[in-house]
Structure 1
Amino acid sequence: MKSNNKICAVVVTFNRKELLLRTLSYLYKQTLPLHSIVVIDNASNDGTNELLQHLGYLDKSNLFYHKLVNNTGGAGGFYEGTKIAHESDVDWIWLMDDDGYPPQTCLETLLEYQDRYDFYGPLVLSDQDKTTLSFPITLPTSKRIVRNKTQLDIFSSNNKVLSNVLIPFNGVLLRSSLVSHIGYPLAKFFIWGDDIEYTKRARKSGARIATITDIEFYHPTAPSLGTPMFFGKMQFNDTNSKIKLYCLCRNNTVNLKKYHGNLYALLFSIKTIWFYSFTQPSLKKLKFSLYGLSAGWFNDFSKHRQFIGKTFE
């Protein structure tokens, strides 16, 4: 199938060359051929460049490989990739990490909805069982948290479209004209929360946002992501990565202050303290999360790099 749309896929990678190869192989298998593919390499040191060269990917006329000098996190990678794609005058930008991949018909079926939405994507499922959601979804009307396709079928009133719901930067299509209006993702976030901020910015601008639930995209599932609390009424993204927990606390506080007000940011602080005090008690994580929360309250984006590669274990 051919399309009059020029679509550029943006893939951000860091030291996951084998997973990147899986993603690229599925991009080249799409029933609707891509105009271009931009690979943003966040300063990998695992031989990603050499492997892509060896396998001939760097010789492909529609693949553009851009290796950054420093690791700028997913946020910096998507900033660079979105900017490069947008400046290449394409119609749509298809965003994804290196560990996710689209089935062969994913892009073609997504484009069937191009007249209805500006920023939308497929249902993101576990690459292992393909029935569990990789990222739990909170339904906007009932606030019910769904974790698999069965729950989604039961509790969703529309089995095809979840309006105003998006798992951003995981196989999502972004209209290039929307980028012209709202700008690029915020590189300073480094990781976690940049995608949420971008979605909130898009929604505030009037963009039409949705998840199309009968179109699938596959991505690994982190066991601690969306850990239930308060009898399953809420969830918290626990992690043993210091850089992720710090950026989660800082970036979510910044997002809540900016788009919802100080009260919501305060409630998130209380939620975080409760989680590490009672739900999954950890004095180390409690003290560390306070450090990230404080950075969020003071809009301090200067301290996160010291935690790259460090864990609580």
Structure 2
Amino acid sequence: MTSGSQPVTIVVATFNRAEYLRRLLASIGQLEPAPAGVVVVDNASTDSTGEVLQTAAESLNVPLTVHRLPVNAGGSGGFSAGVERAIADGATWLWLMDDDVEVLPDALASFAPWLARYRCLHGRRLDHTGEPFFWQHRFNEFLGVHFPVPGNVFANSPVFQTNVACFEGVLLHADVVRTVGLPDPRFFINGDDTTYGWLISRQEPVVYIDRFVLRKARPQKQIDLGVRHLNDSSNLGRYCGMRNRGHLARYLKEHGRFNRLGFALGTVLTAGKELLRLVAVERTLSGVGSLWNGWRESRRILDDPDWAPMPALAPHESDAQ
């Protein structure tokens, strides 16, 4: 992307979704203006992802870097590795996204007017039917839970300021990453982007702009609760969601924002939401054991004397000067 001399590198984490990845890369090829490059982190896929990437390398109209991991490190590990690779290769802006979305052709043009004002921003997203997807939230430090913000958050402004990020579409300046550090790969999936956005928000604004830039390509089971959509999940997602509260608690402690009573209440609310998801969306109770095991692991993380936050990266040469 050359608009405003602000080159954007797209970072994609993928695992065994070859057809969705193909559609995403095809949509990236339609971007106007085009991105500076694409970094795809292949989380040791075992399907035809390699063939899709080889074809894209020959046909995509922008440079494509494939970074294959020896094992599946989850979305968290994939984005951590992809961001590290993109910055090492000289990226200025990094647009993170999952493999099951498609970008809208004018997405980078929609971001361009805001890049001089903000360094962590999101556009809006459509679901697979083309309807607006509700995803505006704010993080409550006392409970350690992010809550939906009801109503039209763009009623009075084209910008909605929050304190969470979403790796399915966040656009980051590389200097933000250098200051905060890489996304924490220990989360594997679930909660990594919420925590990362909160860390960024302690230093500078995190915003959503009133422009649609992505469309979800993969259908999901969901129910509309009025104030938010509740999607289906998986036993792995439930386990990680509960386990990762241990990592979140440690980050809150690092910044002097941890309240044991409030966080315990937030854990109860989190478990309750997952039980509602099981009953109302997936119509099963088979995932209860995953919630319990994740909670037990979160206790171990909370008491781990060797736990440490992700470190800041070395400053850019221009920053040092």
Q: Give TM-score, length-normalised by structure 2.
A: 0.78
Could you list the runs of 5+ residues in structure 2 that have no partner in the other structure? 141-146, 305-321
Aligned-residue offset at 1:197:
1.4
Moved more, 53-62 or 161-170: 53-62
Could you list the runs of 5+ residues in structure 1 that have no partner in the other structure? 303-313
1:40-189 alignment to 2 at 5 Å? 40-54=41-55, 56-57=57-58, 62-133=63-134, 136-138=135-137, 145-146=149-150, 151-152=151-152, 156-164=154-162, 167-189=165-187
Moved more, 288-297 or 63-72: 288-297
Match of 1:2 in 2: 2
- The alpha-carbon distance between structure 1 residues 61 and 162, as it changes in their structure 2 partners (threshold 3 A), is closer
Structure 1 residue matching 2:136: 3-state secondary structure: strand
One of 208, 211, 216 as aligned partner of 2:208: 211
Match of 1:195 in 2: 193
The separation in 2 between residues aligned to 1:250 and 1:160, in whole angstroms, is 36
Structure 1 residue matching 2:201: 3-state secondary structure: helix
CA contact (8 A) 2:110 2:213 kept: no
Aligned-residue offset at 1:131:
2.7
Aligned length: 287
Structure 2 residue matching 1:171: 3-state secondary structure: coil
Structure 2 residue matching 1:101: 3-state secondary structure: strand
The separation in 2 between residues aligned to 1:67 and 1:55, in whole angstroms, is 15
Paired AA for residue 290 in structure 2 = F
Paired AA for residue 252 in structure 1 = R
- The alpha-carbon distance between structure 1 residues 211 and 50, as it changes in their structure 2 partners (threshold 3 A), is same
**Residue 255 (str. 1) matches residue 254 (str. 2):** no
Moved more, 170-179 or 248-257: 248-257
The separation in 1 between residues aligned to 2:241 and 2:48, in whole angstroms, is 29
Paired AA for residue 191 in structure 2 = G
Aligned-residue offset at 1:70:
0.5
- The alpha-carbon distance between structure 1 residues 144 and 192, as it changes in their structure 2 partners (threshold 3 A), is closer
Paired AA for residue 137 in structure 1 = Q
Alignment RMSD (CA, Å):
3.1
CA contact (8 A) 1:120 1:166 kept: no
Moved more, 90-99 or 156-165: 156-165
Tell me the percent identity.
26
Structure 2 residue matching 1:9: 3-state secondary structure: strand
Aligned-residue offset at 1:18:
1.1
Moved more, 74-83 or 60-69: 60-69
Structure 1 residue matching 2:178: 3-state secondary structure: helix
